[in-house]
Amino acid sequence: MLKSDRMGRAAATGAIALTLLGGAAAIQAPAANAASRPSAAACQKTSFWAWIDASAANFRTGPYTHSTSLGLLHYGDRVQVTCATDSNWYYGKALSGAHRGQWGWVHHSVVLNHH
């Protein structure tokens, strides 16, 4: 076997290994970091900005106190609310703060400008 053939095979094997590793990494990415989107039946569509009116408020994966916290929103952080539940939870996108760009749930009791 020629040296160039061995190098070509080694490069191809490395590319396959990287592809497999990349696929495995994508499969193992944690889904818990994403908030569950509200179902149409559980959500009253709305659209307004809300401001956090607490020193720290949990930004959650679901509309329950036992839902996983994505982290904390802080006083003055803004959220674009797109859904309100009958149990006073808001689903929306953080517009400022450490969680800017993330979607999650926050209870109405910790926000200003709630409807």
pLDDT of residue 43: 81
Q: Is 96 in contact with 77 (CB distance < 8 Å)?
A: yes
33 — pLDDT class (breaks 50, 70, 90): low
pLDDT of 71 over the 80 cut: yes
> Across residues 56-76, what is the average pLDDT?
96
pLDDT of residue 21: 38
pLDDT of 8 over the 60 cut: no
Flag whether the pTM goes above 0.85: no
CA distances from 76 to 93, 102, 107, 112 (A): 14, 16, 15, 9
